[in-house]
Each structure stands twice: as structure tokens, then as C-alpha cells.
Amino acid sequence: MAKTKIGKGLSIEGIKARGFFRLQIQDADGKVAGDSGWKENTVVNTGFQDYLCQTLAGMAGSKTISHAMLGTGTAPGATATALDGEIKDVAGTRCAVTPTTIASKTIQFAFTLASGVYTTAKTIQNVGLINHSSTATAGSIFAGNTYTTSSLATNQSVNGLKIWPLWLEIIISKLSKLQEHLIETICNQAKNSIKFLEGSTTIMGGTKIWCME
């Protein structure tokens, strides 16, 4: 998370939308022939705008994730609206996702590209999430990233998983520490300006703060 300074050397962590993905290529017998390992996603600008901000507000133009796609290109930049090098030379190349929530704070998108969808072998190296099944209609990408280049034969399948943890407990922890720091600062400044009796109080914003010497 990015850190923002708020004065006197104190910084708090900013909030970023992050997720992770993992792809596995499987042979016809189910044996894993390739594994990307866990990699971090990149959310594009319109991903933040259309999928997060506008969807939370229920605004017109908001989008929800429905499909995953594979490609042969590079990682999406901040202004990207499509997956670079998306494979779309045959029908059914976009994979419907199955979303589930895990322990209320994480959403998971699982998808499978079945063997035989691609009619020729491909060299895949990126993946993305999008809001439409049709490559002709396109849609607008939410997030994606690259992984180590992998060869995919026509008789192999791809199983994918994308997860999005919501680190609310980290945010709460940081705010709690900030509150403690502010209370300590207020009390120290007050003690330097006037003499306090033990157990005296000061009121700020309707909250009673005890400054003990």
C-alpha cells in the first residue's frame, strides 16, 4: 500500500484495490503441465471507475465481472481498456467466471478454458477480467497482468483463479494507531501551554480526552 504523510513524520497506508491470480495448464489426464504461481493483478483506471466506484454507487454505466480472457501480449497499462494480444481467433475464447465469497472479506473468480477451444497451439502470457462474453462487443477490462510465457496445446485446458482480499482489518488498525497518536499530541500540547491537574479533561469534537500527568 502507498503511504501518505500527515505531518510530524507520521504516515498512514493508503487503500489500494489489489488481487492475485494463478493459472494452471492441465494435460488431458489431469496432470499439471504448467503453473504461473500466484501473481499480482493490475487494476486499470476504468476498472476503478466503472467496476468499483460506480458499482458501489449503483450508477449508470457501472460494470460487473463476468468473464476471463487469455492473451499473448503485455501487462495492461493504467489507461488500457482491453487485454493486449487477447486471443479471439475462434469462438468461445472468453471463459465465464464463477464468483464466490470467502469468509466475507475475499471474492474469488474461478474459470476454465476447456481443451479443444483453441484450434491451434498458442503461446499465452497474460490474463484479464472483463464484463462481456463476446470479443466482438469487446467490453472494458477491469484488471489483468502477465506471467511467464507458456505453451498451450489444443488438447490442454487452463484452470484459472483470481482472488480479491479486502484488507479492512489493516485499515482499522492504522486508523486506531492514528487516533492514539492524535490524542497523545493533543495532550502533550495542552500540557505545554497550561498546568493540568491530575485527571483534568479537554473536550474536542464532543469526545472527552483524558490527559494524565
Distance separating alpha carbons of residues 35 and 150, to the nearest angstrom: 9
Please give the distance of CA 180 from its chain centroid, rounded to a whole number. Answer: 29
pLDDT attached to residue 76 = 94
* Boundaries of domain holding 172: 168-210
Distance separating alpha carbons of residues 132 and 64, to the nearest angstrom: 9
65 and 87 in one domain? yes
34 and 56 in one domain? yes
pLDDT attached to residue 207 = 40
pLDDT attached to residue 59 = 93
In a domain, 4, yes or no: no
Where among 149, 165, 181 does a domain terminate? 165
Per the structure, the count of domains in the chain is: 2
Distance separating alpha carbons of residues 211 and 24, to the nearest angstrom: 58
Question: Would the pTM of this model clear 0.75, i.e. be above it?
Answer: no
73 and 177 in one domain? no
pLDDT attached to residue 165 = 67
Spans of the chain below 50 pLDDT? 1-2, 4-15, 167-178, 194-213
94 and 174 in one domain? no
200 and 103 in one domain? no
In a domain, 81, yes or no: yes
Distance separating alpha carbons of residues 113 and 95, to the nearest angstrom: 6
